[in-house]
Structure 1
Amino acid sequence: MTEKQNQMISLFNQIIPKETDITTSVPGLSLFRIDDSFSRTPFSYSSEIIILAQGEKVVYLGDDIYTYDSSHYLVLPVPLPAECEGRTESDKPILGLSIYIDPIEIGEILLAMEDSKKGVKALPKGIYSSPMNDDIYDAAIRLLKAIADPQDTSVLAPMIKREIIYRVLQGENGEILQSLVHRNRRFFQIAKVIQKINESYSDKFDIDKMAEDLEMSNSTFHSSFKAITNSSPLQYIKNVRLHKARTFMIQDGLNANSAAFKVGYESPSQFSREYKRLFGSTPAKDVAFQR
């Protein structure tokens, strides 16, 4: 373990000494601590950059596996329902920070960079893992130091958060994140659809109309969507709704029927069947276990 990794661990332990998630006062920045390992389980990722100071997580997306730890960060240009496994060692919890990816901010940074990269020509997955480098380590340490000081949090932390995004754009596979802002037109188009689904998950979606609005054939739309998310548009919508409903039940105390209607289901029985298929148990049993 390097000295920089040790610095990050020490700062995390100072800021979050017990297992919890912290939404900081810096917009789009949160910290988390997970004390125990957990087995492979369905999980809904936001569009985010995740940096770990300690521990290891493994993401399963179909047949693809993405590992991130203190030496590798994870980037999700688009929100993705996937499966995640967490691995800890004795008395060494998972310690990490998450930075929300705002396409507008990405565009502003790229404009300021005046970069000549043209992005990726092939359609990339909506997720990748890349090695940490000294610049990102240094920025992450300065960010944690700023969060530990109330005055620095409001003044310095937003600037350092932006620097980390800039470093990730410059880093290995950064052209994939750049694709979010028109550097791969088809990726950009599908990303906009994914954003709409996550913002308006309870709406009725017409898949054919989505393809038509993008001036794509149905087959091109479906193949492009699956290339990025590893699921069909319909299955993606179902997964987003089920994860949203689970959050409403666990955090807001809604019962299964209320959560089902809130996320757009018209049939509670269909909701229960699809929920059990994804999470492995009925809504009532799963929520009781999670609580």
Structure 2
Amino acid sequence: MLPNPMPGDLDPSRRCDMVELAGVLAPRHGYNPTALDSVRILRTEAVLHDIPVLYKPGAVFVLQGSKQGILEEEVFIYDEEHYLAVSLPVPFRMTSTASPERPLLAVYVEFDMQMAAEIAIQVEKHAELTSDKPRSLVSSRMATDIEDVLLRLLMALRSSTDVAVLGASILRELHYRVLVGPQGGAMIAALQQKGTSGKLIQSLAWLRENYGCEIAVADLAREVGMSVPSYHVHFKGLTGSSPMQYVKAMRLHEARLMIARQSRTIAEVAASVGYASPAQFSRDFKRHFGRTASEEMKWVQRHLGEPA
């Protein structure tokens, strides 16, 4: 089995140090970039309800406040005592709690998938792995060893020299700690890409690169050697969505990014993500996010700085 460190007694003083450091590194509302491209820190005072999100593979560590995600009626808590690990990008709904007196502060770490795969190989060599099924999202109890790495990461981010010398090694250790945590077996199974699940994961990777193209489920199923009904069943089991629902969510979230950056017209954005009809794009966008594209642009800028 994978080593499974117990959460232990989390150190309140260490948590206070992390909150203080994160507050300095994230002075403005929304997502704050850091000296490491794969690390962002979110600060928000808003209470958010039922917000559509689609995270890239990585982990979210909430230092203050709380979030919860809902996928297919399953609830994933990520708060001051739990973190969220994402092995596959899937659309889900999110709710968060914060206030002006106690803003939500969260560290978002995007995984280096090549590094994660290399670590998974090393873990396989030295640990007896359980045969976990790949899971797209997993919420786990925070452990003292992960808190320790997070504290060192936040401390390093204050200094460009520390980032240059220590940043890569701290990120590698954080990848490792997540991969040997309670959700490690499910995440490593996703990285291994074996069997039927492996074929689906490869299919998901292709969709992420080609979401703007014309896509037919029959072609996707044929490419992985499945019947269309079988592909539908396995795809929904892994992602919580049908193939075309997943493609639509990918297109709309990518469009949201483009709209927030104000670099293209709505019609140009619609065409670039695979919509032949701007009117259909506008209808789908409002149905998914609950706001028109222009309303969403203002909402994102006010609450997030840039989309999640």
TM-score between both structures, scaled by the size of structure 1: 0.92
Q: 2:295, 2:100 → 1: CA distance?
A: 29
Q: Which residues of 2 match residues 1-291 of structure 1 at below 5 A? A: 2-113=12-123, 114-121=125-132, 123-182=133-192, 184-291=194-301
- Where 1:156 maps in the other structure, the secondary structure is helix
Which letter maps to 1:234? M
- Where 1:120 maps in the other structure, the secondary structure is coil
**Conserved 8 A contact 1:119-1:178:** no
Q: 2:22, 2:269 → 1: CA distance?
A: 35
| 188-197 vs 263-272, greater mean Cα deviation | 188-197
Q: Deviations over 1:245-287 (max 9, x none)?
A: 1221121343321110011100112112211211123323333
| 141-150 vs 33-42, greater mean Cα deviation | 33-42
**Conserved 8 A contact 1:119-1:184:** no
**Conserved 8 A contact 1:73-1:131:** yes
**Conserved 8 A contact 2:25-2:41:** no
| 127-136 vs 34-43, greater mean Cα deviation | 34-43
Q: 2:194, 2:104 → 1: CA distance?
A: 34
Gaps of 5+ in 2: 1-10, 302-308
Q: 1:187, 1:98 → 2: CA distance?
A: 26
Q: 2:100, 2:33 → 1: CA distance?
A: 26
Q: CA deviation at 1:125?
A: 3.2
**Conserved 8 A contact 2:66-2:78:** yes
Q: CA deviation at 1:18?
A: 2.8
- Where 1:78 maps in the other structure, the secondary structure is coil
**Conserved 8 A contact 1:117-1:175:** no
Q: 2:162, 2:139 → 1: CA distance?
A: 30
Q: 2:179, 2:219 → 1: CA distance?
A: 33
Q: 1:187, 1:145 → 2: CA distance?
A: 39
Larger RCO (CA within 8 A; separation ≥ 6)? 2
RMSD: 1.9
Q: CA deviation at 1:181?
A: 2.1
Q: Deviations over 1:133-177 (max 9, x none)?
A: 110000000011111111001111211111011011111121011
Q: Report percent identity of matched pairs.
A: 28
- Closer, same or farther: CA 118–112 of 1 in aligned 2, 3 Å: closer
- Where 2:126 maps in the other structure, the secondary structure is coil
Which letter maps to 2:273? V
**Conserved 8 A contact 1:30-1:97:** yes
Q: 1:289, 1:28 → 2: CA distance?
A: 24
- Closer, same or farther: CA 224–279 of 1 in aligned 2, 3 Å: same
